[in-house]
């Protein structure tokens, strides 16, 4: 049976460091399950692990960090629409390739719906954009869109950003088109009964998590998060498009348009990250298969047993 590891948790919980340690220990490669880290040029605001410089021509197109290949990072332009269906399809290819080379796939991230798409092999029918519906929905407030989605797919509202109109509209569009929410795949695919998943969750005490978030946000501002957003705008992305990525990217355009002070901006971003962490944990708590562990020693022991 093919074995796949999943390291999950909220933002600022230390997932990436744990995944890298496990990859080094157990000969693995990492597949990022983060809906923002897929975009090129969005590095500081999404908290990407630092990319290493590699001399090998064979590895020049692979995102390497701390000597470990990371897949599904920097794969598309921010101008490109990307969704869970595309993530699942591309991730399946990476999983199959990693397994064929005798290595362990390690899915690492905090985008719960994307992780579930892999673990439960969700089926996503092709849903093309409905521009007429989108135009109609764009007139509504984020609050009204969120309420509409809650009637159509209450589970999805537990993880989606309630202020992100672009994602809310897309979720409503999918529900209306297929007349149902995504279900477990009944078709045969690579991710069938031949795959066994170990999902390990990282859960920090609330005060520790919030302290990590505050430190991380302030660190990102020092690392040039505002300049990163300015550059995206200079490259042709509208403020509206940048804001559609949510969290940090929602608030910085308001500061750059002089609608917020620097102090207000930092506070807004910290609060947004804390609310996001809460939504992430609400989503993950639904899945009773997740094994919640406190430290690396426990995790390594659990992984060793799983891989026997």
Task: Please give the pLDDT value at position 187.
Answer: 38
| 125-181 is a CATH 1.10.20 domain | yes
Separation of alpha carbons 19 and 64, rounded Å = 13
Q: Check: CB of residue 205 under 8 Å from CB of residue 10.
A: no
Tens digits of pLDDT across the chain (308 residues): 899 999 999 999 999 999 999 999 999 999 999 999 999 999 999 999 999 987 666 677 899 999 999 999 999 999 998 999 999 999 999 999 999 999 999 999 999 999 999 999 988 777 788 899 999 999 999 999 999 999 998 888 877 888 888 889 988 998 888 765 555 543 334 555 578 999 999 999 999 999 999 999 999 999 999 999 999 999 999 999 999 999 999 999 999 999 999 999 999 999 999 999 999 999 999 999 999 998 999 999 999 999 98
In the chain, domain spans: 125-181, 207-276
Strand partners, 32: 108
Strand partners, 280: none
Class of domain 207-276: mainly alpha
Strand partners, 29: 105
Task: Please give the pLDDT value at position 188.
Answer: 36
- The whole-model pTM stands at 0.85
Task: Please give the pLDDT value at position 186.
Answer: 38
Contacts 24+ apart (CB under 8 A), 19-26: 19/106, 19/108, 20/49, 20/65, 20/66, 20/68, 21/296, 21/300, 22/106, 22/299, 22/300, 22/303, 23/68, 23/104, 23/106, 24/66, 24/67, 24/68, 25/300, 25/303, 26/104, 26/303, 26/307
């Amino acid at each position: 049976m093919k074995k796949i590891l999943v390291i999950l948790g909220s933002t600022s919980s230390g997932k990436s460091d744990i995944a890298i340690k496990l990859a080094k220990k157990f000969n693995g490669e990492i597949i990022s399950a983060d809906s923002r880290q897929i975009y090129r040029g969005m590095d500081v605001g999404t908290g990407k692990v630092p990319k290493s410089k590699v001399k090998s021509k064979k590895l020049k197109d692979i995102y390497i960090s701390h000597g470990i290949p990371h897949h599904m990072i920097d794969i598309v332009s921010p101008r490109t629409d990307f969704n869970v269906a595309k993530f699942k399809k591309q991730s399946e290819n990476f999983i199959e390739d990693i397994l064929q080379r005798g290595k362990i796939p390690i899915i690492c991230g905090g985008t719960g719906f994307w992780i579930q798409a892999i673990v439960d092999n969700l089926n996503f029918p092709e849903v093309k954009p409905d521009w007429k519906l989108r135009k109609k929905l764009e007139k509504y407030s984020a609050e009204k869109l969120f309420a509409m989605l809650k009637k159509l797919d209450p589970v999805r509202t537990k993880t989606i950003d309630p202020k992100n109109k672009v994602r809310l509209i897309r979720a409503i569009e999918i529900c209306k088109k297929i007349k149902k929410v995504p279900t477990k795949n009944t078709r045969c695919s690579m991710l069938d009964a031949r795959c066994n998943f170990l999902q390990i969750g990282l859960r920090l005490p609330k005060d520790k998590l919030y302290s990590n978030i505050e430190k991380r946000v302030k660190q990102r501002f020092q690392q040039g998060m505002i300049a990163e957003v300015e550059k995206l705008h200079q490259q042709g992305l509208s403020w509206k498009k940048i804001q559609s990525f949510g969290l940090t990217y929602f608030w910085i355009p308001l500061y750059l348009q002089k609608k917020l002070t620097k102090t207000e901006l930092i506070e807004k971003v910290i609060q947004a990250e804390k609310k996001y962490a809460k939504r992430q944990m609400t989503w993950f708590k639904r899945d009773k298969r997740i094994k919640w562990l406190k430290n690396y020693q426990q995790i390594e022991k659990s992984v060793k047993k799983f891989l026997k």
